[in-house]
Structure 1
């Protein structure tokens, strides 16, 4: 039986991701070795926190991108949240600005690594922030 928390989490993941919950879980690779932990992530992170009303999904993705980029070692999760942010309407130039902004607080290496980790997601099409200061 699926808990209400899990159902809310599934709904949020499906809204944010370009695929299904199964794709999300496969990308994170935790379900195959720790299915209970995967369930807890869906319930807590998405069913409890992301479903709160004080911040929009867009705002939550900005926080997620900045936080994950600042960690400097969360590339798969960072990419997932950059893709979700793009789906929610954040422009590539806004995401580049977020990743540049973290250099102030987390250092240039974290910022540069995050930009490199997401290069393919951000290089396609017009990226005003990428060319406006050339």
Structure 2
């Protein structure tokens, strides 16, 4: 039986990532269903659902963190899309990543910018094909 945390998490995940987030959770079901549930409940049900920061502000913080990690390109790509979904502009995404060069180094920022470039191209292609 889903908990309130789980339901809040599902709503936040859907708001930020749409169907892409559901796909990630589904991919984990056969190997680590408890981990998939924890991802929905903790970061999305508890943290992303808190008052105090807007969804856009939370995505900016997440982009900064993933950029500085420098080793999570899949997650960074998903959160760049999430940032766009909650109102960040492409320029804001690029600026956040560039700012991280001062803290994580140029290689981390370059890698993150290349992830953003790839995602932006995919969005543009999907938009052209939909129209």
More helix by proportion, 1 or 2?
A: 2
Aligned equivalents of 1:118, 1:74: Cα separation in 2: 13
What residue number does 1:46 align with?
44
Q: How many residues align?
A: 123
What residue number does 1:11 align with?
11
Q: Aligned to 2:52, what secondary structure does the other structure show?
A: coil
Unpaired runs of 5+ residues, structure 1, are 126-134
1:1-134 equivalences in 2 (<5 Å): 1-19=1-19, 21-26=21-26, 29-123=27-121
Structure 2-normalised TM-score?
A: 0.86
RMSD of aligned residue pairs (Cα, Å): 1.6
**1:119 CA drift (Å):** 1.4
Aligned equivalents of 2:28, 2:60: Cα separation in 1: 24
Aligned equivalents of 2:67, 2:20: Cα separation in 1: 24
Unpaired runs of 5+ residues, structure 2, are 125-131
